[in-house]
Amino acid sequence: MTPAPFAPPALEPAAHRGPRLGRGLVGLVAVVGLAFVLDVALGPVRIPLPTVARLLLGHGAAADAATDFIVHQIRLPKALTALVAGSGLAVSGLQMQTLFRNPLAGPSALGLTAGAGLGVALVMLAGGNVASALAVRQLGLAGSWTLVLAATAGAALVMALVLALAARVRDNVVLLIVGLMVASVTGAIVSLWQYFSAPEQIQEYLLWTFGALGGVTGPHLAVLATVVGAGIGLALASAKPLNALLLGENYARSLGLPVRRSRTLIILSTSLLAGSVTAFCGPIGFVGLAVPHLTRALLGTADHRILLPGACLLGAALVLGCDCLAQLPGSQLTLPINVVTSLLGAPVVLWVVLRRPRRSAA
């Protein structure tokens, strides 16, 4: 320790890592673009890449009406949904990991996914008993406003509960336990419902838990994109508080952070993101947990002003990529998205964590 005079010495520009981070983000944008085009091109009906590019850029109609319909009415909304869902889940996961200073936290840590599931389960229960299942049965599972509203209500209920408890709890670790317990209780209620239900009802619920990107079109997509956009906007506004929270609550408070207000904003943002995505697409596992780790490893920074856009892009790329794989190129089969993200996500996280034995995971 040199007791040097405390006068400002010659400046070293501290933003020396700027170019690298900039290149990283630009690279990610390119990857997202590529994955997007691929996702539109791949499927049971193969569409040549040049045609896809032309259609996406809006240059003239396709050779035949069928291709035009497939791209604009099916593939494009699905790819956009993948983009929005991936960004939203990744950003919500990053916020949870920082807020709780826990590398294992994710969007499900607050019980939002379980809440949405409870909402869906309640609708199906009502459907079975009151024979008003018409809305669900006729419109199909994912395309039903009833389901979306039920899932949103369930997630919102859990969010309100967690926010109310958060106002009483000073310690973030206690809050994390509260979230996990709320998730546990909600999950138990759903299990209870399953236990007393007819097999066909359970089957429908199980279908919902597989997740689906395909059912979100038109007004659904507009609503989802708006809510996720708002959530990401809130998250970006919380970048500076999130950075301060890296040091823990006491230091964050000593740095002038209104800890409770920031925490409320972060929980609100996460709830909007995870709640809306789960409501529209069903649960999509692992993206919220894995992408923050991947982003940190890829960009080599802990600064949320870089990490948040990075996680946004990487989350979108990951879900788009998983959706490409879910098409099982060369086959007519389509796998459920929730299965693919988990199958792919867990090994990737393992690889990232084990590759750097000296560093802690968060």
Partner 1 sequence: MNFPSPHSTPALTAEALTVGYPSRKGPPRPVAGPWQLALWPGELVCLLGPNGAGKSTLLRTLAGVQPPLSGHLTVGGKPLASLSPAARARQLSIVLTERVEAGHLTVLELVRLGRHPHTDWLGSFSAHDHAQVQAALVATGTAPFAHRPVGELSDGERQKVMLARALAQDTPLLLLDEPTAHLDLPNRVALLRLLHQLARTLGKAILLATHELDLALQAADRVWLLAATGELLAGPPEDLVLSGAFAAAFQREGLAFDAATGTFELHAPTGPLVQLLGDGAAAFWTRRALLRAGLVPTTGPAAWRVIVPTAAEAGLGFWLSEGPGQPPQRHSSIAALLQAIGAALTQPAF
The yes or no reply on residue 331 touching partner 1 (CB under 8 A) is no
Query: Cα(29)–Cα(87) distance, rounded to whole angstroms?
Result: 12
Query: Cα(187)–Cα(184) distance, rounded to whole angstroms?
Result: 5
Q: How far is the CB of 170 from partner 1 (least distance, A)?
A: 10
Of 138, 250, 331, 332, the one binding partner 1 (CB under 8 A) is 250
The yes or no reply on residue 270 touching partner 1 (CB under 8 A) is no
Dig out the tokens for 160 from the structure: 């309100």
Query: Cα(147)–Cα(127) distance, rounded to whole angstroms?
Result: 11
Residue 169: which residues within 8 A CB-CB, separation 6 or more? 175, 178
The yes or no reply on residue 244 touching partner 1 (CB under 8 A) is yes
Cβ burial of 5 (10 Å; 0-12, 13-18, 19+) is exposed
Query: Cα(90)–Cα(67) distance, rounded to whole angstroms?
Result: 32
Nearer to partner 1, 218 or 300 (CB): 300
Options 1-9, 55-63, 130-138, 326-334: segment touching partner 1 (CB under 8 A): 1-9
Nearer to partner 1, 12 or 64 (CB): 12
The yes or no reply on residue 172 touching partner 1 (CB under 8 A) is no
Options 8-16, 54-62, 109-117, 203-211: segment touching partner 1 (CB under 8 A): 8-16
Query: Cα(13)–Cα(60) distance, rounded to whole angstroms?
Result: 50
Q: Which of residues 304-323 bind partner 1 (CB under 8 A)?
A: 305
Q: How far is the CB of 283 from partner 1 (least distance, A)?
A: 28
Nearer to partner 1, 47 or 257 (CB): 257
Cα of first residue to Cα of last residue in the chain, in angstroms, is 29
Nearer to partner 1, 95 or 338 (CB): 95
Determine phi and psi for 248, rounding to 5 degrees. Answer: 95, 165
Instruction: Give the residues lining the site for partner 1 (CB under 8 A).
Output: 1-9, 11-14, 101, 237, 239-240, 243-244, 246-248, 250-251, 253-258, 296, 300-303, 305, 358-362
